[in-house]
Every structure is written in C-alpha cells, then in structure tokens.
C-alpha cells in the first residue's frame, strides 16, 4: 500500500479536503462530522495517512480589519476568522483522538486561481478555493 496524504483547509461550514494516495486524488468539501467519518475510515487502514491541517491561528497577527468598512462588517470578519481558527483546533483534536499523525501548517501563501492550480497540478476538474488550498498543503510532499 502506498503512502496517504490528506490536506484539510478548515472552515466552519465545510472544510476543504484533499487526499493523495498513490496516483489517486480526491478533492471534496466536508462538514465537520463528514470529515470525522472520513478520517475514522483511514484510522482502520494498515498505513495511516499523514494529515496536514492549515492552522491560521499560528500566524502572529490575526487582525483582519478592512479599511473603509463598517464596524459591524469588520466584527463579522473577525467572528468568522475566530470560528475557522476554532474549527482548525478541533480538527487537530480529532486527529489526536483518532491517533492519526498530523502536521499543523502555518498559512503563508496567497490564494491561487483555478487556472494556475490546473497548470501546476495537472488536475483539470473544477475546484473551489477550499479544495485548492487543501491540495496545496500536500502537493509535492
């Protein structure tokens, strides 16, 4: 059996999910409990995957105010950012509970377009930003 790599871009609603197993790729968006069921499946395999989790809370500055926007909108951005950080922490906790090896990744790169993603990965399927971010966590490892 070949190594299995899983990338997760945490989100409150549905997290971006990417898996590389040999030459097989999977891209998806999964709710928190669908993600749990997916990881639980891999726990039973002889070869455990390594899970790479984007952890925005590792960045020193998490101030996300947008100039010229209302206080209410900026508060909503902060609320959403905090909720995503908590989701990432819960996914780390999930991996610990399932005894799955994981790596917390500090986000550094900017978002990539679908065209650029297709060019560097050769994946021609339609993708969304969460799926691309999840795949970039594991691409080339």
Looking at residue 6, its pLDDT comes to: 97
Question: Total structural domains in the chain?
Answer: 1
Expressed as residue numbers, the domain containing 42 is 4-138
Alpha-carbon distance 5 to 14, whole Å?
19
Give the CATH number for residue 123: 3.30.420.10
pLDDT (tens digit, 9 = 90+) per residue, 75-121? 665 556 667 889 999 999 999 999 999 999 998 777 888 999 999 99
Out of 42-51, 52-61, 66-75, 129-138, pick the least confident.
66-75
Three-class secondary structure of residue 60 per DSSP? coil
Report residue 65 as tokens: 């105010």
């Amino acid at each position: 059996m070949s190594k299995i790599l899983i990338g997760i871009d945490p989100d409150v609603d549905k997290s971006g999910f990417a898996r590389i197993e040999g030459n097989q790729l999977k891209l998806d968006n999964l709710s928190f409990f669908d993600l749990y069921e997916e990881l639980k499946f891999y726990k039973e395999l002889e070869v455990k995957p390594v899970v790479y989790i984007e952890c925005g809370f590792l960045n020193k500055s998490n101030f996300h105010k947008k100039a010229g926007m209302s206080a209410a909108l900026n508060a909503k951005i902060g609320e959403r950012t905090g909720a995503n950080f908590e989701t990432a922490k819960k996914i780390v906790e999930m991996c610990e509970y399932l005894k799955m090896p994981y790596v917390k990744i500090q986000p550094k790169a900017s978002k990539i377009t679908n065209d650029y993603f297709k060019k560097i990965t050769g994946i021609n399927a339609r993708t969304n930003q969460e799926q691309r971010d999840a795949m970039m966590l594991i691409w080339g490892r």
